Amino acid sequence: MTVEMSTYVVAEVSQQADLVKTIRLLDVPTAMPGQFFLIWLPGIDEKPISVSNQTSAGTEFTICGVGPWSTAMLQVEAGDRVGLRGPFGNGFALADNTLLVGGGMGVAPLRYLAHRLMEEGRSFDLVVGARDASSLIFREEFGRWGARFATDNGDLGHVGTVTELLSEMLRLRAYDSLYACGPEGMLAAVRVIADEHEMAYQLALERLMKCGIGLCGHCCMEGSGLRLCVEGPVLTREMLDGTAEFGLPHRDGSGRRRT
């Protein structure tokens, strides 16, 4: 982990959807799938972003423009420099015979996880959900791995939620455990399904983060006191069982409750 900030040149920018771009940086420290870096844009902000792939060709981060920092990130071009600290967090533990469940931007860290599982020859299946086909990022790449898709409006794959697709997959065959990343409502539904099937799971969560090293308390989970930047962002059943606020509204930087 590199706590000090270094700057990195953006080698390439690619676009996956209307408001989603991936930047590729060179010579970034090695990270596990599920770990994240804090990316700094001078004069704007510093935010946590998961690794969406890491190879000898560089490290990729996939960003959706939803607010001031992420919208500014969409303006970054090849040749620009960004500040980076990390990697932070625990990351996913790699396992065999798993099912990966991704929703919305949650597919970004699952993409890197899938690459690593493939490299290690570990078997997995993948279900991915989005609002509609145009916001389903990395669709061709996931399709090559046999992924099944769900869209809310039904314009690709299963009509409905990715958790309905998850239940269907679990009726067809047995998996040893689940990995999931996406909106917290989706993660809460995955947890219920995993409990029904008595399956192990690893869920990647998001909270407001500032320091990234366990000191400021911004990312503490009520009940368990887990610091998502250190003990998370990937939580297992044992970790979530003591956590009161999972799946409920939580607070943003101004103290407002956020769902």
Ligand X SMILES: Cc1cc2nc3c(=O)[nH]c(=O)nc-3n(C[C@H](O)[C@H](O)[C@H](O)COP(=O)(O)OP(=O)(O)OC[C@H]3O[C@@H](n4cnc5c(N)ncnc54)[C@H](O)[C@@H]3O)c2cc1C
Burial group, residue 87, by CB count within 10 angstroms (0-12, 13-18, 19+): buried
Closest approach of ligand X to the CB of residue 252, in Å: 6
Q: Residue 176 carries which DSSP code?
A: S
- Between vectors from CA 195 to CA 194 and to CA 196, what angle results, nearest 5°? 90
24 vs 227, which CB is nearer to ligand FES?
227
Q: What residue type is assigned to position 131 of the chain?
A: R
Assess contact for 12 and 23: CB atoms under 8 A: yes
Q: How far apart are CA 92 and CA 218, in angstroms?
A: 22
* Sites for ligand X among residues 106-135 (CB under 6 A): 108
Closest CA to 109 of 41, 177, 206: 206
Binding mask 30-59 for ligand X (x = CB under 6 A): ------x--------x-xxxx---------
Closest approach of ligand X to the CB of residue 207, in Å: 6
Among 58, 69, 158, 213, contact with ligand X (rule: CB under 6 A): 69
169 vs 208, which CB is nearer to ligand FES?
208
17 vs 209, which CB is nearer to ligand X?
209
31 vs 114, which CB is nearer to ligand FES?
31
Assess contact for 167 and 144: CB atoms under 8 A: no
Q: Got the DSSP string for 209-224?
A: -SSSSSSS-TTBPTTT
How many H helices and E strands in the chain? 6, 16
The size of the interface with ligand X (CB under 6 A), counted in residues, is: 21
Closest approach of ligand X to the CB of residue 139, in Å: 17
Q: What per-residue string of b and e applies to 104-119 under the rule 16 or more CB within 10 Å gives b?
A: bbbbbbbbbbbbbbee
39 binds, among ligand FES, ligand X, none (CB under 5 to 8 A by kind): none
Among 25, 105, 162, 193, contact with ligand X (rule: CB under 6 A): 105
* CB neighbourhood size of 252 (10 A): 11
Among 16, 59, 70, 151, contact with ligand X (rule: CB under 6 A): 70
103 vs 233, which CB is nearer to ligand FES?
233
143 binds, among ligand X, ligand FES, none (CB under 5 to 8 A by kind): none
21 vs 85, which CB is nearer to ligand FES?
85
Residues in contact with ligand FES by the rule CB under 6 A: 209-212, 214-219, 227, 229
Among 62, 98, 135, 151, contact with ligand X (rule: CB under 6 A): 62
Closest approach of ligand X to the CB of residue 253, in Å: 8
Q: Got the DSSP string for 157-174?
A: SEES-HHHHHHHHHHH--
Q: Point out which residues bind ligand X (CB under 6 A).
A: 36, 45, 47-50, 62-64, 66-70, 105, 108, 206-207, 209, 233, 258
